Amino acid sequence: MTLQEGTAIVDVLDGPPAKTRRSLVGTGKAGDIVLRVIAGLVLLYIFVPIFVIILFSFNKPAGKFNYTWQGFTLDNWANPFKYPALAQALKMSIEVAALSTVVAVVLGTLLAIALVRQRFRGNKAVETFLVLPLTAPEVVMGASLLTLFLDLGWATGFGTILIAHIAFEISFIAMTVRARVRGFDWTLEDASMDLGASPARTFFKVTLPLIVPGIVAAAMLSFALSLDDFIITYFVSGSTVTYPLFVNAAVKAAVPPQINVLATAILLISLVLLAVGTLYRRKRIDS
Amino acid sequence: MAGGASSNRQRSKIAPYLMILPALAYLAIFFVVPFWSLFRTSLSSSGGSVYLPTLTFAWDFGNYAQALTAYQDQIVRSLTYAFAATVISLLISYPLAYAIAFKSGRYKNLLLGLVILPFFVTFLVRTLAWKTILADDGVVVHTLGSIGLLPSDGRLLSTSWAVIGGLVYNSMTFMILPLYVSLEKIDPRLLEASKDLYSTGYRAFRRIILPLSIPGVLAGSLLVFIPAMGDFINADYLGSTQTTMIGNVIQKQFLVVKDYPGAAALSFLLVAMILVGVLSYTRALGTEDLV
């Protein structure tokens, strides 16, 4: 998932739950069929590569490259971590994603709560500023961070990857959490204060429980963003290798089917998490 | 506790600033300052030896002129590819978004889920899959060749079309989603009214649905255009040396050639082109607010 994808996905997740409605738009019978056929073809276009990725995770490649179909095997799935470098890269990606998300969640959430809950000078300016990291081309963000690190004389590696990921995640988390916590019943906070709770107690006992689902969702998306980031990481990684960097290097040397196995596994895990999240959200809305 | 109320009030006055300070300070240091560094670099002249180059800040606008002439081809190509990808993406995403918003009935959530699904496959692996699909000895090339749509020695991989196709694929989902959001918001009563007033379906589409979906068109186009302008993965994986884009040059100049001033100047030219593109586009569609 790239930054822009993250932004688009949040728009939909935060919209009102989709309602089914009776078809009011008369396109006519023929028009209707044409529309459905086109929509189906576009869906097919979206899915063909995903299907190919899953299919080739079962391939028995003849050479170094897993590009042509040779035969079915379960070996790749039995040994997903056959290549230590790939396993190491994935581990590195998960570490970066987890650490950067923790830091970005704290900074981004504080910012989001201040934006929604408090009136202060420059509120609008801060909101506009937050959009910038999400709209700047990633190649320029990577290049600018690298220039800074070169100017400072910092060696690029794990630390600089972490710094870069936190930088793009803060905006993303702040925007996501802000969208989620808007329109909550904040009078509960006043009620808690009126009943004598201190601001800190009110924050931990009232505010936090209200916004935790939004934070969790933002954190999960941010984790996915970090796990998948290639362009920015490429500039600031030095000799540290993350999962996308491993894939990129593999394209030039040898593409093992384990790349497909791990991509499919990540997809499956994401799907499960997405399903759990949706069910949880529905339950909350119902109750 | 005496004075508790007043100190609370005071605390709440500075509280928002305390809350926004850490994040803004972080972004100032690691987002704003880097841009400043990049800007300074773009105006620096390089000296020293090949092995130990030195940069001195010198208001050297020559870097920009040089980048413009040396990478003319890549600049034109990036603009063309990004524009083509945006238009194609809009044309094929609109029917799907429309069908999901108005025709999907109880399958709406399922279809939305399907559209979001590819997000969770690593972007690089997705592009790699297209390399497999479009391969010279792949099914697609064979089929197109046998029905005469492609000359017998024709290729799909390493062509401009492969790159544009990759750009469209990798960005389509974020064209579909904003389009869907804007279509979904349309008040059904407007359509009922148009029907009551004997409007044809086509007229209702042209006069109601299309104008009301413009914010989605705008947001989607920006979400496709901006990353496409800076992309280098699609050109790298699916293209050839004849299809390199600005992103490829920036990446190579920065990480391989280490011509920092030239690459920095090209980065700012890229940002400038995106800004001009975005502003003229928003003006043409007549919307002030972006989302």
Query: Both tokens of residue A214?
Result: 């939004």
Asked if B218 has any chain A CB less than 8 Å from its own CB, the reply is no
Partner residue opposite A43 with nearest CB, options B114, B180, B195 = B114
User: What residue in A sits closest to B19 (Cα-Cα)?
Assistant: A110
B172-190 average pLDDT score = 87
Q: Is there a contact between B51 and A195 (Cβ–Cβ < 8 Å)?
A: no
Q: Is there a contact between A104 and A225 (Cβ–Cβ < 8 Å)?
A: no
Q: Is there a contact between A88 and A258 (Cβ–Cβ < 8 Å)?
A: no
pLDDT at residue B5 in the model: 43
Closest among A221, A110, A217 to B25, alpha carbons compared: A110
| Percent helix, percent strand, percent coil in chain A, to nearest 5 | 75, 0, 25
pLDDT at residue A255 in the model: 87
pLDDT at residue B82 in the model: 96
DSSP B148-173: TSS-TT--STTSHHHHHHHHHHHHHH
pLDDT at residue B189 in the model: 84
- Domains of chain B (ranges; CATH) run 68-285 (1.10.3720.10)
In tens, the pLDDT along B27-69 reads 999 999 999 999 999 999 877 666 666 788 888 888 999 999 9
Inter-chain CB proximity A263 and B121 less than 8 Å = yes
pLDDT at residue A41 in the model: 93
Partner residue opposite A5 with nearest CB, options B24, B38, B173 = B173
Closest among B227, B231, B261 to B248, alpha carbons compared: B231
Query: Both tokens of residue A143?
Result: 């290049």
Name residue, tokens 């030039």: A252
Q: Is there a contact between A157 and A237 (Cβ–Cβ < 8 Å)?
A: yes
Asked if B80 has any chain A CB less than 8 Å from its own CB, the reply is no
Q: Over 50: is that where the pLDDT of B4 sits?
A: no
Asked if A18 has any chain B CB less than 8 Å from its own CB, the reply is yes
pLDDT at residue B239 in the model: 93
Pick B183 or B145 by higher pLDDT: B183
Q: Beta partners for B46?
A: B55
pLDDT at residue B14 in the model: 80
The sign of the torsion formed by the CA atoms of A138, A139, A144, A147 equals positive
State the smallest CA–CA distance between residue A122 and chain B in angstroms.
10
Inter-chain CB proximity B119 and A224 less than 8 Å = yes
pTM above 0.80, yes or no: yes
Query: Both tokens of residue A121?
Result: 């000078």
Partner residue opposite A137 with nearest CB, options B188, B200, B230 = B230
CA atoms within 13 A of residue A81's CA, in its CB half-sphere: 6
B88 CB neighbour count, 10 Å cutoff: 17
pLDDT classification of B6: cutoffs 50, 70, 90: very low
pLDDT at residue A5 in the model: 62
Asked if B131 has any chain A CB less than 8 Å from its own CB, the reply is yes
Q: Is there a contact between B84 and B234 (Cβ–Cβ < 8 Å)?
A: no
For residue B90, the one-letter residue type is L
Inter-chain CB proximity A9 and B20 less than 8 Å = no
Percent of chain B with pLDDT over 70: 91
Pick A11 or B285 by higher pLDDT: B285
* pLDDT < 50 regions, chain A: none
* A 117-136 residues inside an 8 A Cβ radius of B: 117-120, 126, 129, 132-133, 135-136
H/E stretch holding B280: helix B260-285
In tens, the pLDDT along B271-284 reads 999 999 888 888 88
Name residue, tokens 């030239």: B262
pLDDT at residue B203 in the model: 82
Cα distance between residue A68 and residue B74, in whole Å: 32
Query: Both tokens of residue A192?
Result: 């808690």
Name the phi and psi angles at B45, rounded to 5: -105, 140
Q: Is there a contact between A100 and A167 (Cβ–Cβ < 8 Å)?
A: no
The sign of the torsion formed by the CA atoms of A148, A152, A153, A156 equals negative
Cα distance between residue A55 and residue B172, in whole Å: 23
Task: Find which of B8, B121, B252, B289 to mutate to test the A interface (most A CBs within 10 Å of its CB).
Answer: B121
- Domains of chain A (ranges; CATH) run 3-15+82-286 (1.10.3720.10)
pLDDT at residue B290 in the model: 47
pLDDT at residue A33 in the model: 87
pLDDT classification of B10: cutoffs 50, 70, 90: very low
Q: Over 90: is that where the pLDDT of B118 sits?
A: no
pLDDT classification of B291: cutoffs 50, 70, 90: very low
Q: Over 60: is that where the pLDDT of B7 sits?
A: no
State the smallest CA–CA distance between residue B62 and chain A in angstroms.
19
pLDDT at residue B1 in the model: 41
Closest among B17, B13, B4, B16 to A193, alpha carbons compared: B4
Whole-number mean pLDDT of chain B? 86
User: What residue in A sits closest to B184 (Cα-Cα)?
Assistant: A18
